[in-house]
Amino acid sequence: MKIKAVLTIIGLSGSLSVMAKMDTIPVSRNYKTILVLPAPYDFSINGKELNFLESFPTKSASATSERIVLLIYNDVAPDTSDFTNYTIYTRDGRAYDFILQLVDIPAKKRWTITTDMVDNLVELSHKKSATELDESDFASHPDIKDTLATTKTVGEKLEIKLEKEIDGEPLPLTQELYVLDRMEYIRRRCYYNQFNKGKIIRYFSKYDDVFLWLENVYYENNEIYLQFRLENKEHIDYDVNFIKFSIATNYKNSSSNVKTEHKPLFRYKVPKKVEGNSENYFMVVFDKFTLDRRKSLMVNLDEEKGNRNLSLDIDQLVINNPSRFKL
């Protein structure tokens, strides 16, 4: 059965505000709170990301690990009472809003997030272009169906339709997507390849037991993708101040050596903190470039409030001979 999806802007904003659900999730210093999402994690917005720390399962290739988020409170933060806003977006476009609150011992340590907790259903609905809705679209939110029936004749009209296959990939990695939204294509390409097994053997910089590894270099379309792994084998967290890139001449012991900043096109999950005895994968994307034999790409990683700075010199043979992504 089809029902008309003609809404009013006034009625929509007023009647659907009751949908929002703001659950409070307890987070402690000594226990990790586990969030199990209904779809793979995409990104999050954390009001106090230096206090409420987010991490993910490592060394797991299972589909389930893509839906797990781990939360813990920063052990060195001086606060005894704290809370903040936290929003998670999953790859299907859904958003889930929560309040994170510092507690001594969380009464509940594992949270299963379900699709009926979604907070941006109206936002998602604007993506559809037709003027009809299936009743199945309201399975998790019957209150919206009632609202449609009561507001369709009031004020300015607005057409709305929910995505039918919201759990699928609405825009797969195709050349069509690249043409329509280049940055979204690049973001998705990074997402799918951020944990690829490294093909470049022992290409790293280290300071004591902190390592910056270059795992892979890829080329696709008109972009160069660099996949990194920042590994912290020490007990003290590594706080990232900045990571900068430059094209440098490599004349040995020459005063004529110069560096020119080389700005990335896109940064994907460059960490702000790597906890002790953990590691983070991230990717950095550049517009297509090549190097001659006397130049290299310099990567400078600076530690905030510390001296464990890393410098990685990537030579022209690595940059000029990238791999291709697997389809």
Three-state SS at 27? strand
Number of domains in the chain: 3
List the alpha helices (DSSP H) in 92-181. 121-125, 142-151, 175-180
Distance CA 96, CA 107 (A): 21
Whether 184 is in a domain gets the answer: no
In a domain, 182, yes or no: no
My answer on whether 154 and 11 are in the same domain is yes
Same domain, 146 and 10: yes
Residue among 279, 276, 243 nearest 261 (CA) = 243
**For residue 63, what pLDDT is reported?**
73
Residue 179: its pLDDT value, please?
A: 87
Q: What per-residue confidence (pLDDT) applies to 19?
A: 35
Closest CA to 292 of 239, 227, 248, 245: 248
Q: What are the b/e assignments for 89-121, b being 16+ CB within 10 Å?
A: bbbbbbbbbbebbbbeebeeeebebebebbbbb
Per-residue model confidence (pLDDT) at position 148: 39
- Give the residue from 86, 101, 117 where a domain finishes: 117
Output the tens digit of pLDDT for each of the chain's 327 residues.
444 443 433 344 443 333 334 589 999 999 999 999 999 988 889 989 889 999 888 766 677 888 999 999 998 888 889 999 999 998 888 889 999 999 999 988 899 999 888 887 655 554 443 333 444 444 444 444 443 333 333 333 333 333 333 334 445 778 888 888 899 899 999 998 999 999 898 899 999 999 999 999 999 999 999 999 999 999 999 999 999 999 998 765 555 568 899 999 999 999 999 999 999 999 999 999 999 988 999 999 999 999 999 999 999 999 999 999 986
The answer to whether residues 41 and 139 belong to one domain is no
Does residue 280 belong to any structural domain of this protein? yes
Residue at a domain's end among 159, 180, 213:
159
Residue 187 lies in a domain: no
Q: By the 8 A CB rule, do 113 and 36 touch? A: yes
Q: Is there a single domain that holds both residue 46 and residue 93?
A: yes
Residue 170 lies in a domain: no
Structural domain includes residue 164: no
Neighbours of 190 (CB within 10 A): 21
The strand order across the sheet containing 110-112 reads 52-55, 68-73, 33-36, 110-112
For 278-299, give one letter per residue: b (16+ CB within 10 A) or e.
Answer: bbbbbbbbbeeeebeeebbbbb
Do 129 and 109 belong together in one domain? no
Give the residue ranges of DSSP H helices in the chain: 9-15, 121-125, 142-151, 175-180, 182-193, 316-319
Q: Are residues 26 and 149 in the same domain?
A: no
- Whether residues 153 and 287 fall in one domain: no
Tell me, yes or no, whether 53 and 145 share the same domain: no
For residue 49, the enclosing domain spans: 21-117
- C-alpha span between 285 and 266 (Å, rounded): 5
Pick the last residue of a domain from 64, 86, 117.
117
Would you say residue 38 lies in a domain? yes
Does residue 73 share a domain with residue 155? Answer: no
- Distance (Å, whole) CA 204 – CA 112: 38
Residue 219 lies in a domain: yes
Q: Tell me: do 235 and 315 sit in the same domain.
A: yes
Per-residue pLDDT at 17 = 38
Predicted local confidence at residue 193, as pLDDT: 92
pLDDT at 84: 92
Measured in whole angstroms, the distance separating CA 292 from the mean position of its chain's CA atoms is 34
Between vectors from CA 46 to CA 93 and to CA 182, what angle results, nearest 5°?
45
For residues 238 and 271, state if they share a domain: yes
Q: What's 87's domain CATH number?
A: 2.60.40
| 204 shares its domain with 305 | yes
